[in-house]
Amino acid sequence: MWEFMVRSLDASTIFTIAALSELLGQRSGILNVGVEGVMLFGATIGFMVAQTTGSYLLGFLAAMAIGGLIGLIHGFFSITLGSDQVVNGMGIWILGFGLTTYIGYPYTGPLGMERIPDILGLSPFFFVGLALIIIAWFVLTKTSLGLRIRSVGENPSVAEVSGINVARTRYLSVTTSGMLMGFAGAIYSLDYNPVWSNDFLMGWGFIALALVFFSMWHPFILLGGSILFGTLWQLSLNPQLVLPDVLSRYIWRTVPFAITIGVLVLMSTKWFSSRWGAAKPEALGLPYEEKG
Amino acid sequence: MKLGSFEVKLEKRVALRGWEATLISIFAILFALVVFSYIFLRAGVDPLTGYKAIFSYAFTSSFGLPLTINRFIFLLLCTYAFIIPMRAGLWNIGMAGQLYAGALSAFAVAYAFGAKTSQNAVLPAGLVIPLMIAAAILGSAAIGAIAGFLKGRFNTNEIVVTMMINFITYWVVARMIKEGGLFMGASGEGDGFKLPESIYAPLIEGVPFTLFIALGLALLLFFLFAKTSIGYQIKAYGKSPAAAKYAGISPFNIPLLVFILGGLIAGLAGYHYFAAVPGVYKITKNYGEFGDLAFYGIICGLISQGNSLAAIPIALLFGGLTNGGRFAQGKLKLGFGIDYALLGVLMITLVAFQFFYRYRIVWVRTPGKEASDVGIHG
């Protein structure tokens, strides 16, 4: 049971960091529905670099670099060109899914490196995830940078009038967001399950996207949601731990996805949104043309 | 930007004409193919040789052409499954889930008629085949309806919902065809059971009859959006759900309707690939690859700008490219997944090119000495 809980927290770490990265972008008003694609890029490039060089550090750095680059590209399409953010995000997802299937294929199989040492049985990235949540909360709510990010996400025209460079702030957010998504992907492929296979994420990125909606854009609620879904995910992989011989293992795999739909529906009800829905960044997904 | 006596400027388009959209689409595809040449170069293959291998296999070889046509039918149906919600401004990325549901429903009918018992079973084809198609349509429409209902009733994000349903149905198919599932094949290798020959879908000149369904739908959808009030309502909702509401268009019915229609057509794609393509006639263990292939429907839909007739040549091209790509990958030793890589490159190119749907590049002669000279000399 202890092992199951540890493994669940490891899974939650990936959800936490991936969802937090999306939250950061969304707070600045940029929606990226291609989280899964960026994660696939980070995971695959990180895996390839780590295996080739034998260095975890280089693997993670490469994953963050490619994630940042994709974030920057998303920014260029969404901020500078002002294109539809959903189309851009879809493009990034399909690009990631298609290209990593091709470039990663020769690396199919286990990573073959010594495992990253754990801390008290937990993956060290669990603590990194916790730290990132606290940092994100602090930056977003207590610093002037956070105020700038939130204001360009809420009302870019007002932000611009008050002297904030909307484009620069959004670029900063989406690029950092991309780096963290790449990092989350690499945690999956280098630490959580260090084996490369085709389209191995199977929905992690999309659940992370949904988690942002669940969190009402608040880092602490997001952490709670991530732990819940990490546990759920782990349970769907090992149902015998709780309910042995009930339902096929394949049916268990559907559970996290079904619950995601359920929660998403609950959150879209009038009852819910009239109470807590106001947290959604007002300018989310809308392109902004500078007046000045 | 200045170039000699010309200035290059970006200008916002007021309207996008049909031929302009066509031109942009052609440029986008060509650009993607040029970028994609890098994959050939990386493998040490001359891109022209590579493309020649792809196209000649896909469109002129007697082995490749039928496979291309089968993929074309599949892609065209997936495109229509995407286009109808797209015209209402909604994203159906659940074609994979809907086509799995369609395939499962069709095979459930076959199973009920005892198709699993023997490959030689003689079943009443005139009854079973129409029932299989009806089941495929109903099953996938029901799956599609979930996303439409949730969108219409609660305004739930349809992208997340359809994607989640893709994963759910993916695992349900696994449940049905593997490890003792109801539809498990006799070989025990992970495939579903094979249909008896008596209920193979009819071929017309060697081509599955589903081709004519797909082409018929092309006309039907064109008519729907060009001439009917319901098509107009879908488009109006797509432009602005709030404004459409004032015009008396139901913000509940439209999402529900477009997702039912989209799902229904995706179900036909599921029936087509698993029950009508020669040599298949079962839910194969690599069914996930067909789910992945369905994402080409998004690209076809976006390039054709939701025009069902324009989608035909595009689906044919992509059917050929993916089919020929698989062949070239073996022949030229390019490594697995070339069709996936192409999918990615095409999609991101398209995303970049959507900019030109809104802006155009104009060349303006800068007024100056040269300009007045030109004026004098006529």
- Contact between B115 and B121 (Cβ < 8 Å): yes
Q: How distant is the Cα of A144 from the closest Cα of chain B, in angstroms? A: 32
Q: Is A159 helix (H, G, I), strand (E, B) or coil?
A: helix
Q: What is the mean pLDDT of chain B?
A: 90
Q: How distant is the Cα of A109 from the closest Cα of chain B, in angstroms? A: 14
pLDDT of residue A292: 55
A277 pLDDT higher than 80: no
pLDDT of residue B368: 57
Return the higher-pLDDT residue of A222 and A121.
A222
In a domain, A249, yes or no: yes
| Of A196, A175, A205, the residue nearest A59 (C-alpha) | A196
Range of the domain at A55: 2-110+122-279
In a domain, A286, yes or no: no
In A71-100, the residues whose Cβ lies within 8 Å of chain B are 77, 81-84, 86-88, 90-92, 94-99
Partner B contacted by A259 (CB < 8 A): no
Separation of alpha carbons B95 and B267, rounded Å: 8
Chain B residues in contact with A269 by the CB 8 A cut-off are 154
Q: How distant is the Cα of A118 from the closest Cα of chain B, in angstroms? A: 31
Closest-CA residue of chain B to A206: B160
Q: How distant is the Cα of B378 from the closest Cα of chain A, in angstroms? A: 39
A266 pLDDT higher than 50: yes
Closest-CA residue of chain A to B338: A102
Partner B contacted by A271 (CB < 8 A): no
Interface test with A, best of B154, B169, B322 (most A CBs within 10 A): B154
pLDDT of residue A36: 95
Chain A residues in contact with B159 by the CB 8 A cut-off are 33, 86
Interface test with A, best of B39, B163, B172, B179 (most A CBs within 10 A): B163
Q: How distant is the Cα of A105 from the closest Cα of chain B, in angstroms? A: 7
- Contact between A32 and A177 (Cβ < 8 Å): yes
Partner B contacted by A253 (CB < 8 A): yes
A21 pLDDT higher than 70: yes
Neighbours of A240 (CB within 10 A): 11
Partner B contacted by A105 (CB < 8 A): yes
Q: How many CB pairs under 8 A join A and B?
A: 136
Sorted by where each begins, the domain ranges of chain B are: 53-334
Cα–Cα distances in Å, from B311 out to A90, B57, B122, B263? Answer: 19, 22, 39, 18
Binned at pLDDT 50, 70 and 90, residue A37 comes out as very high
In A203-242, the residues whose Cβ lies within 8 Å of chain B are 203, 206, 209-210, 213
- Written as one letter, the residue type at A207 is I
Mean pLDDT computed over B108-119: 89
CATH of range B53-334; options 3.40.228, 1.10.3470, 1.10.1760, 3.30.420: 1.10.3470
pLDDT tens figures, B143-187: 999 999 999 999 999 999 999 999 999 999 999 998 888 898 887
pLDDT of residue B377: 46
In a domain, A128, yes or no: yes
Separation of alpha carbons B167 and B175, rounded Å: 12
Task: Name the phi and psi angles at B88, rounded to 5.
Answer: -95, 15
Distance, C-alpha A20 to centroid of its chain: 6
pLDDT tens figures, A153-194: 999 999 999 999 999 999 999 999 999 999 999 999 999 999
Domain count, chain A: 1
In a domain, A291, yes or no: no
Considering only the beta carbons, identify the residue of A98, A106, A248 that sits closest to B343: A98
In A116-145, the residues whose Cβ lies within 8 Å of chain B are none
Separation of alpha carbons B257 and A266, rounded Å: 22
Vertex B144: Cα angle to B139 and B146 (nearest 5): 105
What's the DSSP call for residue B192?
A: B
Q: Would the CB atoms of A97 and B344 count as touching at under 8 Å?
A: yes
Partner B contacted by A246 (CB < 8 A): no
Cα–Cα distances in Å, from B81 out to B100, B172, B221? Answer: 13, 21, 11
Q: Would the CB atoms of A101 and B167 count as touching at under 8 Å?
A: no
- Written as one letter, the residue type at B292 is D
Considering only the beta carbons, identify the residue of A83, A90, A206 that sits closest to B298: A90
Burial class of B199 by CB neighbour count within 10 A (0 to 12, 13 to 18, 19+): buried
- Contact between A31 and A25 (Cβ < 8 Å): yes
Q: How distant is the Cα of B140 from the closest Cα of chain A, in angstroms? A: 17
Separation of alpha carbons B284 and B163, rounded Å: 21
Residue whose entry in the numeric block shows the structure tokens 């879904």: A229
B88 pLDDT higher than 50: yes
Q: What is the mean pLDDT of chain A?
A: 92
Return the higher-pLDDT residue of A273 and B196.
B196
| Of B3, B73, B25, B116, the residue nearest B265 (C-alpha) | B73
Considering only the beta carbons, identify the residue of A83, A84, A105 that sits closest to B335: A105
Chain A residues in contact with B171 by the CB 8 A cut-off are 250-251, 253-254
Mean pLDDT computed over B48-75: 94
Considering only the beta carbons, identify the residue of A95, A101, A251 that sits closest to B347: A95
